[in-house]
Amino acid sequence: MDTVLLLTPTEQDGTLPRAAREAFSAAGAAGGPVAVGLFGASTGPATGQLAGAGVTRILCAEDEALAEPRYGTDAAAATALCRASGATVIVAPALSRVARIAAGVAHRLGGRIDTHVTQLASDGGLAVSRWYYRQRIEARLTRTQRPWVLLVDPGAFPAASFGSGAAPGVERVPIDLGPELKRSRVLGQRAPTSGEQTIRPDAKLLFVAGAGWTKKQADGQPHAERASELILGFLRASGASLGTSKSLTDQAGEGQKVLEFMTHLNQVGQTGSTPRHPRGLSTCCHGEEPHVVGWRFIRERRAVNLDPACGWARGKADVLYVADAFAVMEKVNALLAAAKPGG
Ligand SMILES: Cc1cc2nc3c(=O)[nH]c(=O)nc-3n(C[C@H](O)[C@H](O)[C@H](O)COP(=O)(O)OP(=O)(O)OC[C@H]3O[C@@H](n4cnc5c(N)ncnc54)[C@H](O)[C@@H]3O)c2cc1C
């Protein structure tokens, strides 16, 4: 039987990242006893969270140098934790901090790595699933080599919640973080989006705005300013995350009137992202296959389109409202404002 290590950095405040609690659920499906390896400047709050988790061991690599994400120090700490645990399967959340070091750690351990894991099954030996070719083909993989490092995609598993209970004693793993590992320093952060942050991976709803928002409407005129007000008003009131279609993203490059808060990072689809919100609402978007392929993991789908024969009508949405999205969102925003405490 495999022995399993959940490997994760801690947040700045020392707690477990949400993606790590999801990866913990994944680790539980691997079939073996689960130990946890934590690294960061502070790990105490995370060990407290794990008290009722029923883990076999808690190993910590704690050092001030691990406050900043950096390949040299993170990889050294992660490798030390994996070695100390003796685990044959290492499950880790695909946070950018972990994704950067995971292949190097697997190499140092003489193991193998698979990324974008969305399922684990332990019946008849460990097998993992991941998607290929922009989420069109699902493959089930097994490996004989150990240790096997598995990076779990955020949003693929429910986040584990831990009750109270007795935790095993914390094992401090000594790490040697010499100056040669600390040459890179984080000087600051620059966000790629202009203005308002519209991408919210933890939101319950994905709101997609398609190119129709900038097209000529019934009066023969485009109404991009009104479209911006309605979309931003809805995002602020609902906390939804904003997605878009390639057509709308591309318009900026073609000098057309666009919604200024849209960037290519919002694009969903074959050449965009594949977000994992539980629900999606598409507006003014035709629902063509290269776009809808990015909705693979959106479980409940609704769309608003003037065209009853749009792509969403062909089995791609659970509900299609054949309506003017300007009118619909105006009404929705008014209802949200009225429902707000004090509204
Ligand atoms: C190789 C390749 C890769 C691609 N990758 C992607 C990708 O990653 N993501 C992606 O999105 N696309 C991608 N595409 C493009 C894709 O095929 C479509 O062209 C694109 O998704 C269309 O965007 P749209 O639906 O927003 O715009 P349109 O096709 O212009 O549709 C606009 C829609 O708005 C509706 N509308 C207009 N006004 C209103 C109103 N007032 N109320 C309600 N509805 C209204 C119209 O009825 C229409 O259906 C790719 C294409 C190729 C060839």
What pTM does this model have?
A: 0.81
Ligand 1: residue whose CA is nearest its atom 23: 247
Please tell me the predicted confidence (pLDDT) of residue 255: 63
- At 106-150, the pLDDT tens digits run 999 999 999 999 999 998 899 999 999 877 899 999 999 999 999
Ligand 1 pocket residues where CB is under 6 Å: 210-212, 215, 217, 245-248, 267-272, 284-286, 288, 290-291, 294, 304-307, 310, 324-326
Distance separating alpha carbons of residues 238 and 246, to the nearest angstrom: 24
Residue spans of alpha helices (H) in the chain = 18-28, 44-49, 71-85, 96-108, 224-238, 246-251, 289-292, 325-339
Ligand 1: residue whose CA is nearest its atom 49: 286
Q: Which domains does the chain have, with CATH numbers?
A: 4-181 (3.40.50.620), 205-339 (3.40.50.1220)
Query: Cα of 284 to ligand 1 centre, how many Å?
Result: 8
Burial-class residue 139 by CB neighbours within 10 Å (0-12, 13-18, 19+): exposed
* Contact predicate 326/306, CB 8 Å: no
Ligand 1: residue whose CA is nearest its atom 53: 290
Q: What is the pLDDT along the chain (343 residues), one digit of tens a residue?
A: 899 999 999 999 999 999 999 999 999 999 889 999 999 999 999 999 999 999 999 999 999 999 999 999 999 999 999 999 999 999 999 999 999 999 999 999 999 999 999 999 998 899 999 999 877 899 999 999 999 999 999 989 999 999 888 888 999 999 999 999 999 988 888 765 556 789 998 899 999 999 999 999 999 999 999 999 999 999 999 999 999 999 999 886 666 667 888 888 999 999 999 999 999 999 999 999 999 999 999 999 999 999 999 999 999 999 999 999 999 999 999 999 999 876 5
Residue-by-residue DSSP string for 143-158: ---SSEEEEEPTTSSP
What amino acid is encoded at 24 in this protein? F
Distance separating alpha carbons of residues 21 and 222, to the nearest angstrom: 46
Please tell me the predicted confidence (pLDDT) of residue 133: 83
Ligand 1: residue whose CA is nearest its atom 38: 212
* Contact predicate 338/319, CB 8 Å: no
Please tell me the predicted confidence (pLDDT) of residue 340: 84
**Residue 32, both tokens:** 């073996």
Query: Cα of 131 to ligand 1 centre, how many Å?
Result: 24
Query: Cα of 201 to ligand 1 centre, how many Å?
Result: 22
Q: Where are the beta strands (DSSP E) in 167-265?
A: 170-172, 205-209, 241-244
Query: Cα of 286 to ligand 1 centre, how many Å?
Result: 5
237: Cβ contacts below 8 Å, ≥ 6 apart: 333, 336, 337, 340
Ligand 1: residue whose CA is nearest its atom 18: 288
Query: Cα of 321 to ligand 1 centre, how many Å?
Result: 17
Nearest ligand 1 atom, CA 311: 49
C-alpha distances in Å from residue 170, one per residue of 60, 62, 90, 291: 7, 11, 19, 47
Ligand 1: residue whose CA is nearest its atom 27: 211
Maximal C-alpha separation, the chain: 71
Q: How many other CB atoms sit within 10 Å of the CB of residue 69? A: 17
Please tell me the predicted confidence (pLDDT) of residue 234: 97
Q: For 54, list phi and psi in degrees, rounded to 5.
A: 70, 30
